[in-house]
Structure 1
Amino acid sequence: MKIIICGAYAIGTHLARLLSRNQEEITVIDSDQERLAKIGFDYDLLTLQGSPTSVKTLKEANTAAADLFIAVTPDENTNIVCCIMAHALGAKKTVAKVGDAEYAEEEIKAFYKNLGVDRIIYPEVLAARDINSGLKMSWVRRRWDVHDGALVMLGIKLRENCEILNQPLKNLCGPNDPYHVVAIKRSGETIIPGGNDELKCFDLAYFMTTRPFIPYMRKIVGKENYADVKNVMVMGGGATAVRAIQTMPEYLNVKLFEIDNDRCEVLNQVLGEKTLVINGDARDISLLMDEGIRNTQAFVALTGNAETNILACLTAKRLGVRKTVAVVENMDYASMAESLDIGTIINKKAIAASRIYQLMLDADVMNVTFLMQANADVGEFVAKEGARITLKPVKDLGLPKGMTIGGLVRNGEGMLVSGNTKINPGDIVVVFCHDVNMKQIEKMF
Structure 2
Amino acid sequence: MKIIIAGAGAVGTHLAKLLSGEKQDIILMDESEEKLGKISNNLDLMTVNHSPTSINGQKAAGVAGADLFIAVTPDESQNMTACMIATRLGAKKTVARIDNYEYLLPKHKEFFGTLGVHSLIYPEMLAAKDIVDAVKMSWIRQWWEFAGGALILLGTKMRETAEILNVPLHEMGGSNIPFHIVAIKRGAETIIPRGDDSIRLNDIVYFTTTKKYIPYIRKISGKENEADVRNVMIMGGSRIAVRATQYMPNYIHCKIIESNPSRCTRLTELVDDGVMVINGDGRDVELLLEEGIKNTEAFVALTESSETNILACLAAKRMGVTKTVAEVENVDYISMAESLDIGTVINKKFIAASHIYQMMLDADVTNVKCLTFANADVAEFTVKPNAYITKAPVKDIGLPKGATIGGLIRNGEGMLVTGNTLIKENDHVVVFCLGMMIKKLEKFFN
TM-score in terms of structure 2 length: 0.98
Letter aligned with residue 437 of structure 1: M
Q: Distance between the aligned counterparts of 1:407 and 1:123, measured in 2?
A: 28
Q: Which amino acid aligns with 1:76?
A: E
Residue 264 of structure 1 is matched in structure 2 by: 264
CA distance in 1, matches of 2:117, 2:436: 30
Pair 1:49 & 2:84 matched: no
Given that 1:403 and 1:436 are in contact with CA atoms closer than 8 Å, whether structure 2 keeps it comes out as no
Is the 8 Å Cα contact of residues 6 and 29 (structure 1) preserved in structure 2?
yes
- 1:372-383 matches, within 5 Å, as 372-383=372-383
CA distance in structure 2 between the partners assigned to 1:145 and 1:223 by the alignment = 20
Corresponding letter in the other structure for 2:30:
D
Matched residue, 1:180: 180
2:59 maps to 59
Aligned to 1:117: 117
Letter matched to residue 110 of structure 1: E
C-alpha contact 2:363 2:381 (8 A) present in aligned 1:
no
My pick for the range that moved more, 320-329 or 8-17, is 8-17
Does the residue aligned with 2:294 lie in a helix, a strand or coil?
helix
Alignment of 1:294-305 (within 5 A): 294-305=294-305
Equivalent-residue separation in structure 2 for 1:162 and 1:442 (angstroms):
37
1:162-181 alignment, distance < 5 Å: 162-172=162-172, 174-181=174-181
Q: Residue 102 of structure 1: CA displacement?
A: 3.0
Alignment partner of 1:217: what SS? helix
Aligned residue for 1:408, secondary structure, equals strand
- Cα deviation digits, residues 15-45 of structure 1 (max 9, x gap): 1122123211111111122221222222221
* Shift of residue 173, structure 1, vs aligned partner: 5.9
Structure 2 equivalent of residue 347 of structure 1: 347
Matches for 1:201-212 after TM superposition, within 5 Å: 201-212=201-212
1:88 is matched with: 88
- Find the aligned partners of 2:312 and 2:387 in 1 and give their Cα distance: 50
Structure 1: which amino acid aligns with 2:51? Answer: S
Match of 2:389 in 1: 389
Q: Is the 8 A contact 1:183 1:191 kept in 2?
A: yes
* 1:105-254 → structure 2 map (5 Å cutoff): 105-172=105-172, 174-254=174-254
- Pair 1:20 & 2:32 matched: no
SS of residue paired to 1:278:
strand
Give the secondary structure class of the aligned counterpart of 2:111. Answer: helix
Q: Which moved more, 1:29-38 or 1:398-407?
A: 29-38
CA distance in 1, matches of 2:423, 2:2: 32
1:413 aligned residue: 413
Structure 2 counterparts to residues 256-405 of structure 1, below 5 A: 256-362=256-362, 364-405=364-405
AA of the residue aligned to 2:141: R
Give the Å deviation of 1:175: 1.6
Q: Distance in 1 between matches of 2:51 and 2:308?
A: 35
* SS in structure 1 of the partner of residue 41 of structure 2: helix
Q: Is the 8 A contact 1:300 1:326 kept in 2?
A: yes
Amino acid at match of 2:239: A
Give RMSD over aligned pairs: 1.2
Give the Cα separation in 1 of the matches to 2:104 and 2:246. Answer: 14
TM-score (norm 1): 0.98
1:170-194 Cα distance to aligned partner (Å, 9 max, x none) = 2226221101111111111111112
Give the distance between the partners of 2:399 and 2:211, measured in 1 at CA: 27
**Cα deviation 1:80-121 (Å, max 9, x = unaligned):** 111000000111100011123333333344322210000111
Segments of 5+ residues of structure 2 without an aligned counterpart are: none
Corresponding residue for residue 30 of structure 1: 30
Deviates more, 1:245-254 or 1:190-199: 190-199
Partners of 1:301 and 1:175 lie apart in 2 by 41
- Which region of structure 1 is more displaced relative to structure 2, 396-405 or 264-273? 264-273
CA contact (8 A) 1:367 1:379 kept: yes
Percent identity between the two aligned chains: 59
> How far is the alpha carbon of 1:196 from its aligned partner?
1.7
Q: How many residues align?
A: 445
Kept in 2, the 8 Å contact 1:173–1:180? The answer is no
Equivalent position amino acid for 2:26 in 1: I
Map of 1:78 onto structure 2: 78
Query: Does structure 1 retain, via aligned residues, the 8 Å contact 2:294–2:320?
Result: yes
Instruction: State the AA in 1 paired with 2:212.
Output: P
| Shift >6 Å, 4+ stretches | none
